[in-house]
Amino acid sequence: MDLGGDARLSDDLVDKLLLSRGVDRDDLERHRRPTLRDFLPDPSIFRDMDAAARRLADAVERQEAVTVYGDYDVDGATSAALLIRLLGELGLPARAYIPDRLLEGYGPSGEALVRLAREGSRLIVTVDCGAMAHEALAAAHAEGVDVIVVDHHKCAPELPIAAALVNPNRLDEADEAAAHGHLAAVGVAFLLAVATVRTLRGRGWFDRRPAPDLMRLLDLVALGTVADVAQLKGLNRALVAQGLKVMARRENVGLSALIDASRLNRAPTCSDLGFALGPRINAAGRVGDSSLGVRLLTTEDPDEARTISARLSELNDERRAIEQAVQEAAEAQVDAQHNRAVIVVSGEGWHPGVIGIVAGRIKEKTGKPTLVIALGADEAGQGKGSGRSISGVDLGAAIIAAREAGMLVAGGGHAMACGLTIDPAALPRLADWLDERLARDVAEARAAQALLLDLSLTAGGLTPSLIETLEGAGPFGVGWPGPRIAVGPVRLVKCDLVGTDHVRMIASGGDGRSFKAIAFRAAQTELGQVLLHQSRGRQFWLAGRAKIDDWGTRPAAELHVEDAAFAD
């Protein structure tokens, strides 16, 4: 199947993909080419948004000292960079503060906020954190400094003291705004930027000066949204689609250097944001200097950008080595928990900077929500944990409930991810409590899991032009899955290991056409063992995602295999 020369067939296939993802037939046109014009809501629908915009506008007009306090991951770094770049274009230099993961932990601390106030900050904006920082914000309030919270994590019924708290996941949020609860923090920050510029325009601020081009900030929004594994539906899909176009222009000096450091010789894709660019910025917060990400994304100095990008690549290599050691130790505990609905593993000396990644890896292998806890991670001997969940199981809400029940020192998150601090003695109780609370949700979610296919092809139908057509329904990610196709029947002409545990194949169909395929991290799985040891003389249907391999002299289609079935 080659659709390159038939626009009608291409459009029809894209429409079918959109319909299968829940788009109403009458709404197809809007979703074919998602734009902000069609998806951006009025920022005023969110509680406290207008108050936050007015306070930021006041700071601009009064030339107040402002600090943007961000989390140490990609969402936090991009959110902070977005507001700092915005304020800079409005003529107000702002300072960034990113806490040290190991020394300060997640979220704003009262000590840090008070120190920033005493150093002169009259306004502090927390991004990707702060929604649950009751004690810290109370300390800031007592010091007389205003704090605006821009967050997307789950909130408790009682909110902390703040000049404004903008979060679509506030429990008192109206339905129209709560429908945007899938936004990453950087998406919320962008809406605040829109509201702030609108407020200043209403005050005549731009009568004698140019207004900032907010569209130029969308490359940051795209990176933070994809790296934070936010659902790519509705507004998020429009933000990422337009942000990728901005990123391709390489107007952000730091992002351009990071793209070069990642050895990308083309415009970045969604996959690149999640697997090449995002991990490098995350590495700074996990095992290095947590401020490097914001510095990179806000610099206008090409030399500084190249230096930081090179350092981030080094830290990412270091992170991988640390991660492998922790993962091996964590996986050694998994078999003993095969009857558990939620996997909870812990160990002394595990680096807190990689436990979230390890939790994600174990979750993928087991198909169960997973918590990985580094014991003795602070001077008090407490455990620092990170969790990843599966679709249909709200792990963040469970962790908040566990904290309210007195099992945790601290904890919070959203449906798919969480963080916590725990007294090691409370670990058995937490594991039992989570198992009981989430057993039904996990069972229902796992029972509903299926590899849903969008298309079946012969080997000759897997072409670059088909893949380009399928991409027309993108960008793809969590909540908006990329198309899965089945190709077959095929025989494996070649099947071997590449790297440490990837299964590499060359498959040939009855039509005489062949293609490359790879099953990532599959060597020790049932799928990998069948492909490696039971494929001789057998025919298969291979299922997965089609990608373009552009390493050769010309692009070729390949299949990233997620499942297989005998065809004979």
Identify the CA nearest to 386 among candidates 360, 418, 358, 364. 418
pLDDT at 245: 97
What average pLDDT is seen over the chain?
93
Domains in the chain: ranges and CATH: 39-314 (3.90.1640.30), 332-447 (3.10.310.30), 451-566 (2.40.50.110)
Task: Give the least confident one: 338-342, 374-378, 454-458.
Answer: 374-378
Cα 345 to Cα 343: distance, rounded to the nearest angstrom: 7
Q: Which residue has the higher pLDDT, 526 or 101?
A: 526
Q: Which tens digits make up the pLDDT trace of 423-438?
A: 999 999 999 999 999 9
503 φ, ψ (degrees, to nearest 5):
-100, 120
pLDDT at 6: 61
pLDDT at 68: 98
For the segment 5-19, the average pLDDT, to the nearest whole number, is 80
1: pLDDT strictly greater than 60? no
Cα 523 to Cα 504: distance, rounded to the nearest angstrom: 10
Q: Which residues contact 407 (CB under 8 A, 6 or more apart)?
A: 422, 426, 429, 430, 433
pLDDT at 8: 67
Question: Helix (H, G, I), strand (E, B), or coil: what is residue 417?
Answer: strand
Contact 506, 493 (CB under 8 A): yes
Percent of the chain residues topping a pLDDT of 90? 83
pLDDT at 520: 93
Q: In the structure, what pLDDT confidence band is assigned to residue 4 with cuts at 50, 70 and 90?
A: very low
Cα 111 to Cα 129: distance, rounded to the nearest angstrom: 16
What is the per-residue burial (b if ≥16 Cβ within 10 Å, else e) of 437-467? Answer: bbeebbeebeeeeeeeebbebbbbbbbbbbb
Upstream peptide bond of 43 is cis (omega within 30 degrees of 0)? no
pLDDT at 527: 93
Q: Which tens digits make up the pLDDT trace of 499-522?
A: 888 999 999 999 999 999 999 989
Cα 233 to Cα 270: distance, rounded to the nearest angstrom: 14
Task: Give the least confident one: 60-64, 67-71, 554-558.
Answer: 554-558
Query: How distant, in Å, are the alpha carbons of 141, 334, 343, 424, 499 from that of 375?
Result: 33, 17, 16, 7, 31
The amino acid at 148:
I
For the segment 476-503, the average pLDDT, to the nearest whole number, is 92
Contact 195, 49 (CB under 8 A): yes
Q: Which tens digits make up the pLDDT trace of 251-271?
A: 999 999 999 999 998 899 999
Q: What pTM, to 2 d.p., does this model score?
A: 0.86
Q: Which residues contact 216 (CB under 8 A, 6 or more apart)?
A: 246, 251
Q: Which tens digits make up the pLDDT trace of 378-417?
A: 777 899 999 999 989 999 999 999 999 999 998 988 888 8
pLDDT at 154: 86
Q: What is the DSSP letter of 216?
A: G
Report the 3 state secondary structure along 13-26: HHHHHHHHCCCCHH
470: pLDDT strictly greater than 80? yes
Cα 398 to Cα 413: distance, rounded to the nearest angstrom: 9
For the segment 154-171, the average pLDDT, to the nearest whole number, is 95
The amino acid at 125:
V
Q: Which tens digits make up the pLDDT trace of 345-360?
A: 999 999 988 999 999 9
Long-range contacts of 198-201 (CB under 8 A, 24+ apart): 198/43, 198/53, 199/50, 199/53, 199/54, 199/56, 199/57, 200/57, 200/60, 200/61, 200/90
**In terms of residues, how long is the chain?**
568
Question: Helix (H, G, I), strand (E, B), or coil: what is residue 480?
Answer: strand
Percent of the chain residues topping a pLDDT of 70? 98
Q: Which tens digits make up the pLDDT trace of 110-126?
A: 999 999 999 999 999 99
